[in-house]
Amino acid sequence: MDQPPTLAASSPDFPLDTLIVNALLVAGGPECRVIRDGALGIQGDRVAWTGGPGHQPPPARVVVDAQGAVVLPGLVNAHCHLPMSLFRGLADDLALDAWLNEHIFPAEARFLSPETVTAGALLSLAELLLSGCTTVCDGYFFEDQVAEAAVLAGIRAVAAQGVLDFPAPGVPDPRENVRAAADFVTRWSGRSPLVTPAIFCHSPYTCGPDTLKAAKRAAGDAGALFQIHAAETRGEVEQSRKILGKTPIAHLHSLGVLDAQTLVVHAVWADERDVEILARSGAGVAVCTASNMKLASGIAPLPGLLAAGVPTGLGTDGPASNNRLDVFSEMGATARLHKLATGDPTAVGAKTALFLATEGGATALGLTGLGRLEPGWAADVVVLRPDRPNLTPAYDPVSLAVYAASGADVRHVWVAGRQVVEEGRLLTLELAEILAKARSLAKRIGGRGA
Ligand SMILES: [Zn+2]
């Protein structure tokens, strides 16, 4: 339903920087407000104006005609390991244990360096921006390189330095793992408006209780997000029950690391009590549907998490376990999977899926004012192509975005008011150079070209 146009109180200096007209505008929010024949004005890094037919927008320096196409908030990828694009396709069709221990950990130990992390991160960031993702939450090693790549790409990022209780890339001495992560957070606090530093403990089975508590304390002292994979596989939960006498989520709770600044990744095998613990603690969850499907890990209890009020977002997980970084595809897969799993076609609807991939994900990451196209909210905007058969006709733009669109349908992207993709081309990165570098590194990693 069209609403009267509104002006952001904090934007007195018209003209607007950019005005997007002739838009099938999905403003977002829990109700997923839609404005047909709408327009959206950007001033600085914020949305400054939205309106429908008959509402005269203020003048703007640049006017972009969406040609009737869907315009929606930039998508939020709530969990990723960006540099792992270099390992995409290296090992597939395996369970998590075998994939991780026999292929990924050895490849990481052998090939990760600041150079490869930068190359892999840039490759993933190019893929994300071109497919309409404007915010990504990453957890990896050599995270300074990831954060620098994010600044270069012009994407919004929560970047978290990884912590493991065994020698890790860039942190050979595990006794230094928490200090290295805390130092990373210090280095990046306030350094870029696009990068929010954080700490990422890999899992309760690779980080002992002392490490988990120390890492959470360091994150808490810095006001930073603490992230951790947990309850990803049935085997992990069984082992945790056997060794610790409790589930991984109950274990994290008993250590005091679950609170509103914690993001639990996966929670596939969270039982009802775990969901209650998560809800009471205020912790967020990143659900990684495609990765969980590909590794046959299981189906996260998403309807239960949402009913309990757990802040939840959608993550692709790393490009080596997905194997693509397309949040549109993640929305469609998530909605479809939960209909199938519950036998209820209303279990996760299009509006819910879009909310999870926008404002819901931002909230789970602790980011505010992000994920809607309303005055005062961040100007992270995606314009889809007007000429795609799969996006025609446009009865319901939310249905199109979730069930019909893919990242390949993205035409323009802005992050914090800066255009980063124009007519499907990256404006911030040299894609040809990034591809050439990745191909050259792949020869070393996989023994053959890409
Ligand atoms: Zn992950």
Tens digits of residue pLDDT in 382-420: 999 999 999 999 999 999 999 999 999 999 999 999 999
Residue ranges of the chain assigned to CATH 2.30.40.10: 6-73+377-426
Residue ranges of the chain assigned to CATH 3.20.20.140: 75-364
Cα 204 to ligand 1 centre (Å): 13
> Is the pLDDT at 4 greater than 50, yes or no?
no
pLDDT at residue number 9: 44
- Rounded to an integer, what distance in angstroms lies between the CA atom of residue 357 and that of residue 337? 16
> What are the tens digits of pLDDT across the range 47-98?
999 999 989 999 999 999 999 999 999 999 999 999 999 999 999 999 888 9
- Which pair of structure tokens corresponds to residue 52? 């429908």
Cα 375 to ligand 1 centre (Å): 34
**Residue 364, exposed/middle/buried by CB under 10 A (0-12, 13-18, 19+)?**
buried
Cα 433 to ligand 1 centre (Å): 27
Cα 49 to ligand 1 centre (Å): 37
pLDDT at residue number 15: 79
CATH number for the domain formed by residue range(s) 75-364: 3.20.20.140
Cα 20 to ligand 1 centre (Å): 36
Cα 79 to ligand 1 centre (Å): 6
- Rounded to an integer, what distance in angstroms lies between the CA atom of residue 237 and that of residue 409? 39
Per the listing, tokens 């992000």 go with: 370
Do the Cβ atoms of 98 and 333 come closer than 8 Å? no
> Is the pLDDT at 235 greater than 70, yes or no?
yes
CATH topology of domain 6-73+377-426: Urease, subunit C; domain 1 (2.30.40)
pLDDT at residue number 2: 42
The pTM for the full model equals 0.96
Q: How would DSSP label each residue in 286-343?
A: EE-HHHHHHTT-----HHHHHHTT--EEE----TTSS----HHHHHHHHHHHHHHHHT
> What are the tens digits of pLDDT across the range 133-174?
999 999 999 999 999 999 999 999 999 999 999 999 999 999
Cα 265 to ligand 1 centre (Å): 7
Cα 202 to ligand 1 centre (Å): 8
**Residue 350, exposed/middle/buried by CB under 10 A (0-12, 13-18, 19+)?**
buried
- Rounded to an integer, what distance in angstroms lies between the CA atom of residue 55 and that of residue 127? 36
DSSP three-state, residue 42: strand
- Which pair of structure tokens corresponds to residue 37? 């024949």
Cα 15 to ligand 1 centre (Å): 43
C-alpha distances in Å from residue 67, one per residue of 20, 21, 63, 389, 411: 10, 8, 12, 15, 11
CA atoms within 13 A on the CB side of 268: 22
Cα 160 to ligand 1 centre (Å): 12
Do the Cβ atoms of 62 and 32 come closer than 8 Å? no
Cα 260 to ligand 1 centre (Å): 20
Report which of 25, 35, 46 is spatially closest to residue 4, judged by C-alpha positions: 35
Cα 230 to ligand 1 centre (Å): 10
Q: Find the distance separating the first CA and the last CA of the chain, reported in whole Å.
A: 48
> What are the tens digits of pLDDT across the range 284-335?
999 999 999 999 999 999 999 999 999 999 999 999 999 999 999 999 999 9
pLDDT at residue number 153: 98
Q: What does R_g of the chain's alpha carbons equal in angstroms?
A: 21
Do the Cβ atoms of 285 and 302 come closer than 8 Å? no
> Is the pLDDT at 3 greater than 50, yes or no?
no
Cα 101 to ligand 1 centre (Å): 14
Cα 286 to ligand 1 centre (Å): 9
Cα 303 to ligand 1 centre (Å): 21
> What are the tens digits of pLDDT across the range 236-260?
999 999 999 999 999 999 999 999 9
- Rounded to an integer, what distance in angstroms lies between the CA atom of residue 210 and that of residue 187? 24
pLDDT at residue number 309: 98
Cβ-proximal residues to 361 (8 Å cutoff; 6+ apart), any chain: 75, 76, 77, 78, 135, 286, 312, 313, 314, 315, 371
